[in-house]
Amino acid sequence: MRLLSLLVTVSLTLAVAYYIYTPLPDAIQQPWKLMMLDAYFRTAIHGLISESSPGPVPGVKVSDITFAGIPVRVYEPPAGGEGHLRRGLVYFHGGGWALGTTKKGTYDTINRMVSDELNTVVVSVEYRLYPEVHFPVPYLDCLAAAKHFLSPEVLAKYAIDPERVAVAGDSAGGNLAAAVAQESMSHQNNDSMSVKFSVQALIYPVLQALDFNTPSYVENQYMPILSRSFMIQFWVQYLNADLSLVPQFAVNNHSTLQHSAITPELRSRLDWNVLLPQKYKKNHKPLIVEKGSHGVLKKVPGLLDVRAAPLLAGPEVLAKCPRAYILTCEYDVLRDDGLMYARRLQDAGVTVTIAHYEDGFHGCFSFISWPLEFDVGKRALRGYLSWLQNNL
């Protein structure tokens, strides 16, 4: 009986260790903590956003209201400095357009910190998520809330300087922030959005869905928190496509040369062989398929829609975009999306600050408090706050 019990215990221990263990690069600090976090994420995917966080920041007033019918949480800094206008910031949370909330966990903590430390009115948008909705609904929710916030009447109500308003977001929220920033600066919106964003802060943003074989997608395809297959699944869900397409997307069969809609000009906008520095290209070769899945673009038109894929926007659109802060992590499938967007913005004449974390991984920005605390996360957050302090 004792032998049987021992065998069961050993078997369970080995099974748990096998489930948890993921080979990680040497540069990753606290690897076992990250492995356990990833195992938790895989077991209960709705745990993507850490709910462990410090207590409320004293003095910050928090209100759950609606902007143009969209639920938002507004953070107002402590009273003081009467007569002086304050900064404003709109934040879109991450979670693959399917997970997350601004009302608890790290997002709530970070927005309170921004409001308190930077004397900023922060509006965090509770846009609708999959499976309730698909693209373009989350984007339209975010745009509607941003338009409402940027109206002169609302800015005046909250005593915000119209020259100091930012838009920011992480991961899928970075995608939404980039898309909203582009739209807010376009000619079509000059009448409806007389106030423009002065800066944008994009935290490891996801920006395109045509090439899932960039160097960072290949190198980090099995990395914890956000693997390549997870990211493709999030895209397929967001664009209301059939999940059976995930394997086709993984080998770029959805963006073959036979698709005339993907013109050479369009391909150049995400040509990592041109847009990435050599240190990131290494010895990787572009995966360009001549013939693949037929009719994918007709079934999934969002693949070429710049509101879903901001990296595909033309140079004339990028040239109007606000100054940018783009945070990227070495061990992240989305690293090259951010780096390519930074290069394209710079080529269009936009001032860009690239904050690259050599020991960073996707999601680290959210892991800043015990027990899910990583030093790189705290450094990433401090860098974000510092940039906003100096540029907003």
pLDDT along the chain (392 residues), means of 10: 46 38 66 61 46 65 98 90 85 97 92 97 98 98 98 96 98 98 78 86 98 98 95 98 95 92 96 98 94 85 97 98 98 98 98 98 93 93 98 98
Quick one: 171 and 320 in the same domain?
yes
Quick one: 216 and 71 in the same domain?
no
The answer to whether residue 49 sits within a structural domain is no
Q: Is 53 left (phi over 0), alpha (psi -120 to 50) or beta?
A: beta
Amino acid 39: pLDDT? 60
Amino acid 218: pLDDT? 98
The answer to whether residue 52 sits within a structural domain is no
Amino acid 104: pLDDT? 85
Q: Which domain holds residue 242?
A: 27-42+210-299
The answer to whether residue 250 sits within a structural domain is yes
The answer to whether residue 214 sits within a structural domain is yes
Rounded Cα–Cα distance for residues 226 and 99 (Å): 13
Pairing of strands 160-170, 199-203: parallel
* Contact by Cβ (8 Å): 203, 327: yes
Quick one: 195 and 76 in the same domain?
yes
Among candidate residues 299, 333, 352, the one where a domain is terminated:
299
Quick one: 181 and 293 in the same domain?
no
Among candidate residues 275, 299, 323, the one where a domain is terminated:
299
Which residues carry out catalysis?
Answer: 171, 332, 362
Long-range contact pairs involving 375-382 (C-beta distance under 8 Å, separation at least 24): 375/29, 375/30, 376/29, 376/329, 380/203, 380/327, 380/355, 381/110, 381/113
The answer to whether residue 198 sits within a structural domain is yes
Quick one: 174 and 257 in the same domain?
no
Quick one: 124 and 253 in the same domain?
no
Which pTM does this prediction carry? 0.89
Number of domains in the chain: 2
Quick one: 90 and 177 in the same domain?
yes
Residues in contact with 236: Cβ distance below 8 Å, sequence separation at least 6, in sequence order = 242, 243, 245, 246, 249
Q: What are phi and psi of 283, to 5 degrees?
A: -105, 20
Quick one: 200 and 232 in the same domain?
no
Among candidate residues 271, 299, 327, the one where a domain is terminated:
299
Residues in contact with 155: Cβ distance below 8 Å, sequence separation at least 6, in sequence order = 88, 149, 162, 165, 195
Quick one: 230 and 202 in the same domain?
no
**Residue 82, SS3 per DSSP:** coil
Quick one: 33 and 68 in the same domain?
no
Distances (CA, A) of 309 to 210, 235, 312: 9, 10, 6
The answer to whether residue 262 sits within a structural domain is yes
The amino acid occupying position 224 is: P
State the chain's mean pLDDT as an integer: 89
What burial letters (b/e) apply to 239-277, b meaning 16+ CB within 10 Å? bebeeebbebbbebbbbbeebeebeeebbebbebeebbe
The answer to whether residue 146 sits within a structural domain is yes
What burial letters (b/e) apply to 30-55, b meaning 16+ CB within 10 Å? ebeebbebbbebbeeeeebbbeebee
Quick one: 332 and 202 in the same domain?
yes
The answer to whether residue 15 sits within a structural domain is no
Q: What is the pLDDT of residues 250-277, one digit of tens each?
A: 999 999 998 889 999 999 999 999 999 9
